[in-house]
Amino acid sequence: MINHQIKVAFDEYSSLQELDITDRELCLQAVKAMENSHSPYSKFSVGAALKLQSGKIILGSNQENVAYPSGLCAERVALFHWGANHPDDLIESMAVTAHTNEFKLLKPVTSCGSCLQVMAEYEKKQGKPIRVLLYCIDGPVWVINGIENLLPFLFFEDRLA
Ligand code: THU
């Protein structure tokens, strides 16, 4: 038996103020994206903002549905919009944030497995790592370089061969 250990890495910034202006603005765009969150069932808003190579920003927010599984997370709303409309304008960074009136969030919200798998797909497609900024309002920001640091056992196409 061999015990393998995998390390992932991320940078923690104690607050938004510690980030450079570009990253700070992207986090604030993720906050703006939450304005269009449709989350009457969970009462949990999530916002995502993609910064493309051209400088264009794409926003997404969670969109829930009375038929629960029909809804979609903020990250995938933004990513699928990118895939459908701007696939040649590479994604540099993606900021994600969340808010609820039900309790105070003390740490950044981490994306679900399905969103990570979609990030991994597009990262592979564009051939360039995506920086992910997980922003806790009034709290820390976690910066992750590349999806392998979020999903080390991600499902690769080569595994199909
Ligand atoms: N949600 C996201 O938008 N992104 C995630 O990565 C996790 C969860 C949404 C889905 C649902 O609308 C609400 O948060 C509560 O789970």
pLDDT of 160 above 90: no
Question: Pick from 126, 115, 122: which is nearest to 150 by CA?
Answer: 115
Residue 12 catalytic? no
Whether residue 39 is contained in a domain is answered as: yes
Q: Examine residue 142 and state whether it is found in any structural domain, yes or no.
A: yes
pLDDT of residue 159: 65
CATH of the domain at 53: 3.40.140.10
Domain membership of residue 1 (yes or no) is no
Tell the residue nearest (CA) to atom 1 of ligand 1.
73
Whether 120 is in a domain gets the answer yes
Residue pair 118/109 in contact by the 8 Å Cβ criterion: no
Q: Which domain holds residue 145?
A: 16-151
**Separation of alpha carbons 2 and 22, rounded Å:** 44
pLDDT at 72: 98
Tally the domains of the chain.
Answer: 1
91 and 122 in contact (C-beta within 8 Å)?
Answer: yes
**Packing angle, helices 113-126 and 74-85, rounded to 10:** 30
Amino acid found at 68: Y
pLDDT in tens, 63-78: 999 999 999 999 999 9
Query: Residue whose CA is closest, atom 5 of ligand 1?
Result: 111
Query: Mean pLDDT of all residues in the chain?
Result: 96
Asked if residue 160 belongs to a domain, the reply is no
Alpha-carbon distance of 91 to 63, in angstroms, equals 22
| Inside any domain, residue 3 | no
**Cα–ligand 1 centroid distance for 73 (angstroms):** 5
Question: Who's near 10: CB < 8 A, 6+ residues apart?
Answer: 142, 143, 144, 145, 149
Residue of 35, 64, 75, 121 marked active site: 75
Say if 91 falls within a structural domain: yes
Q: What is the pLDDT of residues 25-44, one digit of tens each?
A: 999 999 999 999 999 999 99
Give the separation between CA 107 and CA 138, rounded to whole angstroms: 9
Cβ 45 under 6 angstroms from ligand 1: no
* Cβ(115) – ligand 1 distance below 6 Å: yes
Question: In the 8-state DSSP scheme, what is residue 123?
Answer: H
Sheet strands side by side (includes 91-100): 11-13, 141-145, 131-135, 91-100, 44-52, 57-61
* pLDDT at residue 154, as a whole number: 81
Q: Residue 8 falls within a domain, yes or no?
A: no
